[in-house]
Chain A
């Protein structure tokens, strides 16, 4: 016999040896009241020790709810923990370890837990059966959005943090192991120990703060002659000392994916009052295990009887756990209601703690050691009886009990009344098969134990203990050893099985009576509610209603009634729902089937899955070697893929337009300097390099002379333009390819895919050298003068260094590869130097060019300059639906080559249709009006919607060199529209008129290319 302690605050605390340290008092706040508990308490156990049962409100009816369980299966006791940016909704009080200063609030109630106006729903519950909203809120149609607004605000559980910026940090760990054990109860610990002794690398994880599992809540069991928990402690000590073992308490194995890839969430600091800065809040473990042992134990099932959702109605195993593990007595006048032997252990625990106990056993003739022990202790046992209805307001206060027939489906006698303040119910055990099922393992129904348990596995894994339906402790331990041994040897570690220890505890039977829906004497549908899913307020009648309406597949049932869709994911409700559905359909449970269980085992923090890949680590920012110079010279930047590129360089007081105009003019009148380092560069080598280029580009490459450059277009296999760039032959078997900035990675992947999967016979080797070269493009009539002043050591005359060729040289002593190519139409050099010389080259050129009017220009000026020349930008003039012909670039399609990627697609008849969208130039009627890019052309702007659109503007600028606005567009049949007028209706209602012209606006004969 234990005694209730003296402390006035912890009125339901027992003075008794337990896992809480009664010397370490801890104070915390719940709903504004401060309470005390002890180190080792969960919020749930501490509240129970303080006599608090009412802790939450249900989702739909806002019914008062208490603590049901003592673990992660808890549907009711959901709490908002912490304040400000630390606040976190929907945490289970049964898993929160208390610490000094802990601040918790109940949820889903206005204004307070005991006085919740939402509870009106409970009164009106009759009008809100499962799925009622599919049948209502349809008239008038326009009102749905208003109804919905109200529904949304009534729904939802907790409130997210008020301050959204999570101050915590989350880490990830990637690791391998030989054997991963999920679950650190008796079976899991033995499996881990067995495997660890063989030398295998073992990880054992348990979601609780301590290893030991179900034994933590038991008393009076001895193993090998010592108390069970001492025996556990020895195992833990042995493993803790082994370097090949990683023990992870507070860690949930929540995902089991293909090829034994598992994800674990470790809560590193959540239980600490002060969180050390060097530790992350949580750690996501990504483990590739050779073998796994799943030993997650079992969940006890509630019984479905009227009023079973009242605070004070708890799972029998949980009641026992609160008494033994936490020294908290959930009630003094207890009803134990059960269909099996196990709850008798709870009856004894309550009795030993001083409570008055009545055991209501659904079975007509229970027998065995536990029943004898209870009888001997003088506990009242009502066999063949059931609790018909529980009554109470914010806590259960009394019950009606009646005799029932042997199938537990009909009342067979007069009611008995009992007062009570707690009901410990047990409907049997459901193995936690979640990870097994996630890993595509199969389940089978055990007709004796009334549960689904694992059958065949799909991954390299073993099931042990209660999670495998082996509820008897001695057998579970034996199974743990066996699974550990098999997992270790499957992972390649020889081992001999340890002897099974001897277990001393009363024998008990594990065959419950099938009693899924306790009768209450009312007609079906009438009478007080009996709940199946507590969190989502799904009743037995809702399940039957769904069946009646044809929602008969388990998935339909779940979706129609929302059973099992709560944050507890139906751990305590799924089997009961299934059984009631089977009954309603007159079918067997295994025929009705079960749903596939999916990640996560329990809800897992999104922040931990995102990890460190947020903020600046979300995606790398790529900067060129000249970036410092751009920044210190006031450049603005634009995002181009991962790169930040200098967009334009405004001078004091300049607008963007003024800056860009100045840069554009300079490049044509003196000289401009562009940082072109971001262009993709691929080094191509091998005896088949030229052949390879012949296949991936539309034009010919075999005859290109060494030292010469050529522009190439790449098509997708559907014949559409994919990328472009200049490629140069550096040697017989050596090319330097350039790609667009944004396309670089994609092009390399594409080329590799063809090489590796389609043309493995070609000897070609590709290397990305984008980052190895820094590139400055010098463009404009003064380019030669500047290079000479900069100390270039080659002859720049067009005869010795012609357009479209490359030379190796030095500039101011820096070794360089210079390509004489031009994207501006001016005399232009793309100067490549080793990346580390990039900044030196740039500053040197700027200095050497100062006297010649050198002007740095950004990407915007580059766009204008090339548009003046009618050069396309892939991704701007093209969008994956444009052929070379559409661009007016037939000249680049080789007629001679037998094949190239896209050739066959281009031969399709429709590719030559006249009404395809084709690239044209545009001159606005009012030369000062610039058409917005993306505007669409129509012939008649006054036609009704939807309008007949011709196509869209792809590029559009004011050209300072020409003094008017220019644009390019893709228009249906554009090649035949020259001279015609089109209209652009804009978003703001204006209409711009333009004439279709040639795409080359400036220097159509190309006379400026030599300066």
Chain B
């Protein structure tokens, strides 16, 4: 996967929408910014589409965009019950990396990474993809051993990764505490320099605008309430704004996947759980990379606005309420203050939760179903933001061709029956 570049299709608003640029901003300031167009039309649902994508998160919008840009399917719609990006896309901590252990995972996340690289230009929308590096810390001999395993595998998969010792870590991240006498000292870490963060909302908006440019209808405030079938075939979706006829339905609804699957009588091996995150008040830059620590369950970065962005592990109960329990951030902040003592005198500004869809093996489902024309892309759990472009790209391919490509193939629903799991949970124990 190192050298084959994904097919990016038609790029940069071929549909003819006015393009964004510094020049356009300057020009528009002459007319006091009165002439900017809508980023995407507020489409009324048509009675029929060639395909309907349920879920206007990043993955759903990316799927629609690549269906149009790569496969030429433009008579399609994205249906979102609330506002675009209001699910986990707008709630995540935006860590992007492709340094996964298993070959199957490396393939899809690296596919995604390549699409990230150049995404702003593809979409003509600055998604602020920032390759500031992602450094994962090891705190015990056991973790050092696991780290060695991962780095060897990652490197042989052609993906960049390097091991740093405590002193090198301190040089790279001056604010970190590498005192070896703390409870779980920093014993080493591995760094993917191509990893980093992006602006989550911009990803949703950028895909929406570019998909709209190609003719895709983006329909907000429209909830899918049922999936209409004829025998084993899908014939359309029932929505809060009426029935829409279509032969192909792609479900990309993250935390609500089980709910939508149930509309077709399908049970998914997915548990929906709260995952929490928080940000501090903005301060001048003190951290220019992303730090993850699985042993103490915390990860941290600093946004371009200056807020420290912190996240933890999932709450251990199932729920659809977008809130978690207090002990999780309590524990996470204790860990964060251990590693970054400077945080102690900063303040929590916002805190929230999202509902993440996790499979038993912590890997996603990109799959056909027993019902013809019904496809699922879900189970990205705590770490799917980074996969947004890649997931959309291969899912579009699956919907267009009705068969998974090589990258998507391992992620069938059937693996839970066959046993060919891709266990990122057990093996890597890694969340985001």
Contacts and interface: CB of A to CB of B under 8 A. Distances in A.
Given A90-B283, A614-B338, A618-B334, A607 B141 contact: no
A880 B40 contact: no
A526 B336 contact: no
B284 interface: yes
A719 interface: yes
B296 to A, nearest CB: 8
A166 B177 CA distance: 13
B128 interface: yes
Contacts of A559: 90, 201
A752 B365 CA distance: 31
A599 B360 contact: no
B129 A255 contact: no
B325 interface: yes
B146 A153 contact: no
A691 B337 CA distance: 47
B151 interface: yes
Nearest to A124: B29
B239 interface: no
Interface stretch (A115-123, A700-708, A775-783, A905-913): A905-913
Contacts of B9: none
B70 interface: no
Contacts of A144: 120, 126, 128-130
Contact of B351 (A549, A598, A936): A598
Interface in B1-45: 1-2, 20-22, 24-26, 29, 31-34, 36-42
A526 B21 CA distance: 22
Interface residues of B, number: 117
Interface stretch (A36-44, A132-140, A224-232, A316-324): A132-140
Interface centre among B83, B139, B330, B334 (most CB of A within 10 A): B334
B184 A639 contact: yes
Contacts of B283: 89-90, 156-160
Given A127-B25, A156-B284, A881 B423 contact: yes
A145 interface: yes
A934 B149 contact: yes
Q: Say whether chain A's binding surface is mostly helix, strand, loop, or mixed.
A: loop
Interface centre among B83, B121, B183 (most CB of A within 10 A): B183
Interface string B391-426: 000000000000000000000000001111101011
Contacts of B421: 718, 881
A194 B401 CA distance: 70
Nearest to A616: B183
B120 A555 contact: no
A628 interface: no
Nearest to B20: A135
B85 to A, nearest CB: 8
B309 to A, nearest CB: 13
Nearest to A551: B39
Interface residues of A, number: 113
Contacts of A132: 25
Contacts of B418: 908-910
Interface stretch (A421-429, A461-469, A788-796, A942-950): A942-950
Contacts of B131: 145
A636 to B, nearest CB: 11
Given A613-B334, A876-B145, A152 B153 contact: no
A199 B150 CA distance: 62
Contacts of A640: 140, 142
A134 B20 contact: yes
A899 interface: no
B349 interface: yes
Contact of A524 (B32, B42, B103): B32
B3 to A, nearest CB: 8
Contact of A155 (B36, B120, B306): B306
14 contacts: A144-B130, A158-B284, A164-B340, A170-B344, A525-B32, A605-B348, A606-B347, A618-B182, A618-B335, A932-B152, A934-B145, A934-B146, A935-B148, A952-B152
Given A618-B334, A639-B141, 9 more contacts: A158-B283, A523-B32, A525-B32, A560-B201, A610-B330, A613-B331, A638-B141, A718-B419, A934-B151
Interface of A: 59, 86-90, 126-127, 129, 132-139, 141, 144-145, 148, 151-153, 155-161, 164-166, 168, 170, 255, 257-258, 261, 263, 286, 523-526, 541, 545, 548-553, 555-556, 559-560, 562, 565, 567, 569, 598-600, 603-607, 609-611, 613-616, 618-619, 621, 638-640, 647, 718-720, 742, 875-876, 879-881, 905, 908-911, 932-936, 938, 944-947, 949, 952, 985-987
Q: Which 7 A-B pairs have the closest CB atoms?
A: A880-B426, A525-B32, A156-B306, A934-B148, A934-B149, A607-B344, A945-B158
